[in-house]
Structure 1
């Protein structure tokens, strides 16, 4: 089974002016991130605008990703839908397209009980013979996967991990505590600011939007930690603070994509209506990028 570890970019989806996917630039970004030392690739997650891509676009993005990555790192595919049957269907398509691991976001919009969430994930796991990572992001879905539910789900053999994007460190800590005895289950941070703290608590790394901007720096948090160089790992973790401080000016996905565009890459804008950054936000990004360039961040 594929080992879940390290820093995995939730890779952005490059787009042309007409909002169609720019597959040539996608291949360019994939190689840039892998050359930067990242430990996996996660297309069409939240940062990849999976919420606004059509199903056929997702599958084509996944096929191109698998083709370009060529097994150099594991490929994660976000296949979660509101309905259980749709999630199974998309997951089977992702398996056919060559994904290594499924990331399945909690159902959204309608409130779900913990028993309903458990049955949802259990059904998908039984129908799709692939490693599955649960994805908890209650601010976007209105449904939170409780630590007790994660503990129950971790007993299903092919549910192998959870990504926590709640921003609540105690919630992530409880995920780690509840599953510590299961050596086949991993906990990832979905918050870029908590990657090192996830590792210190017993987690395995993070799925990171900011790795689109600085793949080398983000990947080094994990590498330095594993090498026992904790002070250097902390410095790498702290170094993204000025970029994250710009997120107050807009949707984090939009800010990350704008930052990568300002670095000279042809990634385009996010799809409307989520494609506006104020002049103040652009200036804040330029300032942070210049500061980090002077520090040699990559």
Structure 2
């Protein structure tokens, strides 16, 4: 059941903002409609690309409310509900469930070092508090805490722990997640856009792809062409994002993605301060890549 729900290319929506850093709700709706038109298999609010780390709880709720309205049941809506404390994560997760989210994405707690047993108990408590699927979110470079393959294997045995998103960038780690949960009703998603096809080939179920904010059709086609058995086209779609991902060296990937969407002509604004700066050479590099990809028909 979970592998059939937690699959495909899911877009971790950017959160459009006005000059005063308030949420630009009309543009958010526009971006969601753009993603749906592009054919992605899900949308995800308040993730890393959505600047969930800097949104207030009320803002997270409002973005989720809009996403649920705009999605209209066409695709699953994932809600980022991970907080540092277990109590806050449970509270926000229950609120997202009550609002109508389809899936919860729960990032590991951050700042303080957590043992694997503490992480296990944290996720166990969250899963016990809700009835909808919970996807674990491993991104140790940002949180300082990594979910080991053994902990993911243990958690995969709990009711409604539906899957894991791995943003470690370590393909072997993702492989171990897949190997340790093989035969279970459990989904493994790549959080690294460059590894989506390889995740699928290894037995995973897709990816949560920041680049889909820029190129929704191309990103969803990695999954669609793979499912059709057209590996050549799937590989082509996977390879096409290389030039854009090379722009990530100029700054925070969230800022690069949001800048790219802005350069495409959408009023998404900048990332919230202090994470809002890209050097001019980075902006120029992104502009060149966007122009090259537009000539190539990439969307």
Shift of 1:274: 0.6
Write the mapping of 1:16-35 to structure 2, written as runs, cut at 5 A: 16-35=18-37
Answer yes or no: is 1:129 the counterpart of 2:131.
Answer: yes
Please name the residue that 1:109 is paired with.
111
Matches of 2:55 and 2:69 in 1, distance apart? 20
Poorly superposed stretches of 4+, deviation over 3 Å: none
Please name the residue that 2:220 is paired with.
219
Answer yes or no: is 1:67 the counterpart of 2:58.
Answer: no
Write the mapping of 1:3-14 to structure 2, written as runs, cut at 5 A: 3-14=5-16
Shift of 1:181: 1.4
Please name the residue that 1:90 is paired with.
92
Write the mapping of 1:1-298 to structure 2, written as runs, cut at 5 A: 3-182=5-184, 184-298=185-299
Shift of 1:44: 1.1
Matches of 1:97 and 1:269 in 2, distance apart? 28
Shift of 1:67: 0.7
Secondary structure, aligned partner of 1:91: helix
Gaps spanning 5+ residues in structure 1: where?
Answer: none
Matches of 1:141 and 1:212 in 2, distance apart? 23
Deviations 1:113-133 (A, max 9, x none): 000000000011111122100
The CA RMSD over aligned residues, in Å, is 0.7
Deviations 1:125-158 (A, max 9, x none): 1111221000000000100000000000000020
Matches of 1:44 and 1:138 in 2, distance apart? 18
TM norm structure 2: 0.98
Matches of 2:216 and 2:131 in 1, distance apart? 31
Matches of 2:98 and 2:29 in 1, distance apart? 20
